[in-house]
Structure 1
Amino acid sequence: MTQDANSPAAKPSLSRIVVTVCTYNESENIGRLLTEIRSSLPEADILVIDDESPDGTGQVVLDRAASDPKVYLHSRHGERGLGSATLFAFQHVIAQDYDILINLDADFSHHPRYLPELVKALQTTDADVAIGSRYVASGSIKGWPLKRHIMSKSINFWARSWMGLPIRDCSGSYRAYRCDLLRKVDFSEFRSRGYSVQEELLFRCARGGAKFTEVPIEFVDREVGESKINMNEAMKAVWIIARCGLEPKKKGTTERV
């Protein structure tokens, strides 16, 4: 893992945890987010993948890293986009000696107070993926217009139906993964480079025999900054999900629920 180049030492604890955050123009959020992550999960490393944000997001992270040796920054040059940044973060982390990877958005829609619950879900059950879920009992969404509710419900229904996923919340990115599971995923097979990477991650994990659990969260729409999701991304997600659902199962693989 890098602060653009140096790898942190392996952690001696039973569960070596890293939290990944992908950013673009999140300077108004990232400093407070790093503070909240550190408060909620002090043992975790934090890796920020930034797509050369012109608003100085990367510099905020570097300033924090100067006083917190468990914070790391990787600045991507040239390529941009949340989906490809997420895939980069996952592949970068699984090459390291970590047990648990947790991914969350940078805009405080995924509050760090749920981090301990996601970790506990993996440490106390046989689940391979713990999902911060808006669509199970006690989960909720705050601040969305009707259009966003309809879009989200529709894409989740489509993913469950077409990909055969036994999950209520397929499109949210707030999740904890066992790294041993992720090391079995062939990232070269991914079709998505956009927002549909979240559904495809679950699909690839399920094809690898993963078990899932869902932890209720309150999802709060961002208060500062601009959302990057749009109807074009939603339509791309529909197409990617359709293509994944048509893939034949590999010989010898079983999907667990």
Structure 2
Amino acid sequence: MPPAGDRDLGTECMVIPTYDEVDNIERVVGELRAAQPDVHVLVVDDGSPDGTGEVADKLAAADDHVRVVHRREKAGLGAAYLHGFQVALDAGFDVVGEMDADGSHRPDQLGRLLAALRDADVVIGARYVRGGEVVNWPLSRQVLSRGGNLYVRLLLGLRLKDATAGFRVYRRSALETIDLSSIRSTGYVFQTELAHRAVQAGLRVVEVPISFVEREYGESKMSGAVAVESLKRITAWGLAERRRQVERWAEQRGGRS
């Protein structure tokens, strides 16, 4: 069992998936450990050929709050997070979070997510709420991201402004309620699926503003193919939700006749 952490939240672990982030991982983990000394870090490396895993191993050898899980191949962001979440839950952590390894999520802002979690089940660090911002993204990418979130709200009926965001913290009970074993998304759409599942389960999901900063080193893993896959899955979920709504309406009409 991990040592005691925040007296209100319990023990906390941030899961950081990596693939070819050798230029970023040491800096990100170092900044996170400095910003939140009681928070544990779990690096999940998908067999990075650039040596990211080896750098993470050195960090873990020097810091008992850092652990590394090595996966044999790149199987998608969602798959890496699911693996890391389960490892953290099995280790007994009360709070499990997620953040990118490329420096786009600022470790010094994690405190505001943890503070909000005292009155919530899930907290999302959101770019598109009042006080949030995106730094150094081209206009085309901002339009794509904002448009994707609008599509999610319209199709799934979510009131969240940034359902695609990847800087989050979950109470242990929230992840257990969502039932990670039933999650099928392996790519970036994993973020949307978890947010949707949390809202459907009646969990309290809160968004707090963050500054999202474009990476300085390395290449983004986002591509047109990834975006298309996400849209397809979200469309399928939305259509399924509309069918359920029609069925419920028909049942209610039938019961009154």
TM-score by length of 1: 0.89
Q: What number of residue pairs does the alignment pair up?
A: 240
| Counterpart-to-counterpart distance in 1, 2:26 and 2:180 | 31
* 1:138 equivalent among 131, 138, 145: 131
SS of the aligned residue for 1:183 comes to helix
Q: What is the match of residue 84 of structure 2?
A: 89
Q: What is the match of residue 11 of structure 1?
A: 3
Query: Do 2:198 and 2:205's aligned partners in 1 also have CA atoms closer than 8 Å?
Result: no
| Counterpart-to-counterpart distance in 2, 1:141 and 1:41 | 23
| Counterpart-to-counterpart distance in 2, 1:18 and 1:222 | 23
| Counterpart-to-counterpart distance in 1, 2:14 and 2:25 | 13
Q: What is the match of residue 187 of structure 1?
A: 180
Query: Do 1:20 and 1:101's aligned partners in 2 also have CA atoms closer than 8 Å?
Result: yes
SS of the aligned residue for 2:85 comes to helix
Q: What is the match of residue 43 of structure 1?
A: 38
Query: Do 2:75 and 2:186's aligned partners in 1 also have CA atoms closer than 8 Å?
Result: no
* 1:240 equivalent among 226, 229, 233: 233
Q: What is the match of residue 255 of structure 2?
A: none
* 2:94 equivalent among 91, 94, 99: 99
Further displaced range: 240-249 or 30-39: 240-249
Q: What is the match of residue 254 of structure 2?
A: none
Gaps spanning 5+ residues in structure 2: where? Answer: 249-257
Further displaced range: 179-188 or 226-235: 179-188
Cα shift at 1:84: 1.3
Instruction: State whether structure 2 residue 144 is matched by structure 1 residue 151.
Output: yes
| Counterpart-to-counterpart distance in 1, 2:84 and 2:155 | 27
* 1:111 equivalent among 97, 106, 124: 106
Kindly report the root-mean-square deviation, in angstroms, between the aligned alpha carbons of the 2 structures: 1.6
Query: Do 2:32 and 2:107's aligned partners in 1 also have CA atoms closer than 8 Å?
Result: yes
SS of the aligned residue for 1:171 comes to coil
Gaps spanning 5+ residues in structure 1: where? Answer: 1-8, 252-257
Further displaced range: 92-101 or 68-77: 92-101
| Counterpart-to-counterpart distance in 2, 1:116 and 1:80 | 30
Cα shift at 1:73: 0.3
Cα shift at 1:179: 1.1
Cα shift at 1:79: 4.4
TM-score by length of 2: 0.89
* 1:221 equivalent among 214, 217, 228: 214
| Counterpart-to-counterpart distance in 2, 1:207 and 1:91 | 21
Q: What is the match of residue 62 of structure 1?
A: 57
Cα shift at 1:187: 2.5
| Counterpart-to-counterpart distance in 2, 1:96 and 1:63 | 21
Query: Do 1:200 and 1:244's aligned partners in 2 also have CA atoms closer than 8 Å?
Result: no
More helix by percentage: 2
SS of the aligned residue for 1:144 comes to coil
* 2:170 equivalent among 169, 172, 177: 177
Cα shift at 1:243: 2.0
